[in-house]
């Protein structure tokens, strides 16, 4: 039995008959051109982590008066360094007690010589800080809630009041 030409399924006819799936669009990250869904306040996780890094960096630099803690350099090259490396203790990444301000040359020197870094930490902070941080480094994971608490601690006010930073600046 032959089908009539009107009842034959053509690609266009088969597509037209299918109902389109309705997707509820999840809120997107507020960073320009980012299409990832929001996970932490009004940002996706990578952009929230970057913003937390910026805020923590500014806090550490202000706390140490933009001065290198090793050599006393007050130039524009002051950055922040972690007492425990951030890949060893993810949840200590933005903790203010796990960071000090260093100039680039001191930071580079201590990055390549971990024994000298541990000796300097023990000398400056009395030996207990590095040991205590090593003991508690595996206490918990650094999840989205912890990242949100970090952003709020350093003064980021994202989606809590319904507006984003970009909307407030405009």
Record the pTM.
Answer: 0.67
Cβ contact 28:39 at 8 Å: no
pLDDT in tens, 19-56: 554 455 778 898 888 989 888 888 998 999 999 999 99
- What b-and-e string marks burial along 29-43, b requiring 16 or more CB atoms within 10 Å of the CB? bbbeeeeeebbbbbb
Domain positions in the chain: 35-148
Cβ contact 147:48 at 8 Å: yes
Question: 107 burial class (0-12, 13-18, 19+ CB within 10 angstroms)?
Answer: buried
pLDDT in tens, 91-110: 788 888 889 999 999 999 99
Average pLDDT over residues 115-128: 82
Q: What is the 3-state secondary structure (H, E, C) of 37-84?
A: ECCECCECHHHHHHHHHHHHHHHHHHHCCCCCCCCCCCCCCEEEEECC
């Amino acid at each position: 039995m032959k089908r009539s030409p009107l009842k034959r399924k053509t690609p266009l006819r088969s597509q037209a008959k299918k109902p389109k799936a309705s997707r509820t669009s999840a809120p997107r990250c507020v960073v320009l051109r980012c299409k990832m869904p929001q996970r932490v306040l009004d940002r996706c996780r990578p952009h929230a982590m970057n913003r937390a890094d910026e805020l923590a960096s500014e806090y550490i630099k202000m706390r140490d008066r933009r001065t290198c803690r090793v050599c006393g350099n007050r130039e524009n090259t002051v950055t922040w360094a972690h007492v425990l490396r951030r890949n060893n203790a993810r949840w200590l990444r933005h903790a203010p007690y796990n960071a000090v301000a260093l100039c680039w040359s001191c930071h580079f020197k201590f990055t390549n010589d971990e024994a000298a870094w541990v000796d300097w930490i023990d000398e400056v902070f009395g030996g207990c800080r590095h040991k205590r941080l090593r003991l508690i480094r595996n206490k918990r994971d650094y999840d989205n809630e912890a990242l949100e608490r970090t952003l709020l601690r350093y003064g980021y006010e994202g989606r809590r009041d319904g507006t984003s930073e970009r909307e407030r600046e405009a």
